[in-house]
Amino acid sequence: MPTEPRVAVIRGDGIGADVTDATLNIINAALNKVGASPFTCDDIHAGAAYFAETGRDIETDGETRAGDADAIFLGAIGLPSIRHEDRTEISPHLRLRDRFQLYAGVRPVRAYPNAPQRLADPRAAGLDLVIIRESTEGLFYTAAVHNRSIVEGEVTAPDAVSDIMRITASTTRKLHEFAFNMTRRRRDRGRAGKLTCVDKANVFKSQAFFRTLFDEVAQKHQDIDTSYNYVDAMALDMVRQPWEFDVMVMENMFGDILSDLAGGLVGGMGMAACGEIGDETGLFQPAHGSAPDIAGTDRANPLAAILSGAMMLDYLAQKCDLPLYEQAAGLIEDAVAKGFAANALRPMEFGGDMGTRAVTDEVLTQIANG
Ligand code: IPM
Ligand code: MG
């Protein structure tokens, strides 16, 4: 008997609250439309503003409660004006990735009609790809847990500071396994179904290891077309011929950078949805930041958050055995696509006339008519 899911909600900083409210609105409408009961929310305070107030970056029991939920939704965390002594920003989010081992960062990139296309080539109109960014180790390893011990490789001598690129077999095997399975699912839904391993195996031992593990996992998935690309060449191809790619898998920092680049190709960060998935739970967040300059002014584009919310519904559908949740996710994705096709979604982020509420209302209208 499926149980009613529980979602930990972290609105966080800046526009985090604006886009989270918009997303919860949309999700409730979609669940209602398909006749599914809503999930319960557990609001957790966290972020840079919370840190400035309390000296803690998340509520005392916040991490435990986040882990008790079936999924976590996060608006945005971080304020450039509030930092640790070493000048890095407040990022409890990185610790959540580490604590719950959310290794598979899924970042879909899709072109919509009437949304800006930064590439003149007509093939850019059909862009539809996914970056899978490992999200717990790689070059973020020392940053994941703030001030992770020097014993584990961080050097903080006065005249040199090192972060390390850590690639472990256990996480990387799971990551590649996830990537192959996602590629197959996409192929079954009519997409290209090709997987590219993006690395820097020509230079770094850790990256050669990443590729070796890719080859090893590929043996079990011989029905999937694979290729390799060095990360610098991938940056070039992302601009030159992104339509040649379907699913790409890479270490943490490469994925952080290339997913912003890819988001730019289809408009901007307001389109950059993200799900970070581990074996036990998933965290869903728009990959844009907190944009404090426009917080609370009804100008943020909520679509990345809304699309991340749809990813969360898909995830909950599988995890909690709730097929209606998958339908609701599809309804939201279609509503966004139809809204753009009708040129009825014109976010201010792209020079349009629609703020957070107007964009949300249009998606609601599309859902109602869907
Ligand atoms: C992202 C963000 C985060 C990251 C920041 C806010 C810590 O840029 O989700 O891509 O670097 O992972
Ligand atoms: Mg980023």
Instruction: Express each pLDDT in 28-87 by its tens digit.
Output: 999 999 999 999 999 999 999 999 999 999 999 999 999 999 999 999 999 999 999 888
Angle, CA of 302, 303 and 306, to the nearest 5°: 90
Give Cα 41 distance to the centre of its chain.
20
Taken in order 350, 352, 353, 359, is the CA torsion positive or negative?
negative
Q: Is 27 helix (H, G, I), strand (E, B) or coil?
A: helix
Segment 149-156 mean pLDDT: 54
Catalogue all structural domains in the chain, each as residue range(s) with its CATH number.
1-104+272-370 (3.40.718.10), 117-144+162-265 (3.40.718.10)
If one residue of 15, 73, 74, 94 were mutated to test the ligand 1 pocket, choosing by the most ligand atoms within 8 A of its CB, it would be 94
pTM, two decimal places: 0.96
Residue 78: CB within 6 Å of ligand 1?
Answer: yes
Q: Is 104 helix (H, G, I), strand (E, B) or coil?
A: strand
| Whether 153 contacts 103, CB under 8 Å | no
Residue 256: CB within 6 Å of ligand 1?
Answer: yes
Segment 320-342 mean pLDDT: 97
Calculate how far, in angstroms, residue 69's C-alpha sits from the geometric centre of ligand 1: 22
Lowest mean pLDDT among 70-79, 139-148, 276-285: 139-148
Nearest CA to ligand 1 atom 7: 91
Tell me: pLDDT of 14 over 90.
yes
What is the reported pLDDT for 108?
A: 97
Residue 254: pLDDT band with limits 50, 70, 90: very high
d(CA 297, CA 277): 32
Structural tokens at position 121: 């080539």
Segment 245-258 mean pLDDT: 98
Tell me: pLDDT of 156 over 70.
no
| Whether 105 contacts 236, CB under 8 Å | no
What is the reported pLDDT for 4?
A: 87
Tell me: pLDDT of 287 over 80.
yes
Segment 286-297 mean pLDDT: 96
- Write down the H helix ranges in the chain: 16-34, 48-54, 62-68, 92-99, 141-144, 169-188, 205-218, 231-240, 252-265, 303-319, 323-341, 356-369
Taken in order 266, 330, 68, 104, is the CA torsion positive or negative?
negative
Segment 305-322 mean pLDDT: 98
What is the reported pLDDT for 160?
A: 76
Residue 287: CB within 6 Å of ligand 1?
Answer: yes
Listed residue (132, 104, 115, 124) closest to 199, CA to CA? 132
Segment 271-297 mean pLDDT: 97
Q: In what order do the strands lie in the sheet with 275-277?
A: 40-43, 6-12, 71-76, 282-284, 275-277, 104-110, 128-134, 247-250, 194-199, 225-230
Q: What percent of the chain has pLDDT over 90?
A: 90
Residue 88: pLDDT band with limits 50, 70, 90: confident
d(CA 138, CA 92): 18
Calculate how far, in angstroms, residue 4's C-alpha sits from the geometric centre of ligand 2: 32
Segment 206-211 mean pLDDT: 98
d(CA 322, CA 106): 21
Tell me: pLDDT of 251 over 60.
yes
d(CA 150, CA 136): 18
Ligand with an atom nearest the CA of residue 146: 1
What is the reported pLDDT for 169?
A: 98
Nearest CA to ligand 1 atom 11: 256
Calculate how far, in angstroms, residue 287's C-alpha sits from the geometric centre of ligand 1: 7
Give the residue, 235 or 147, on which the prediction is more confident.
Answer: 235
Which atom of ligand 1 lies at the shortest distance from residue 259's CA? 10
Ligand with an atom nearest the CA of residue 78: 1
Residue 149: pLDDT band with limits 50, 70, 90: low
Q: What does the mean pLDDT of the chain come to?
A: 95
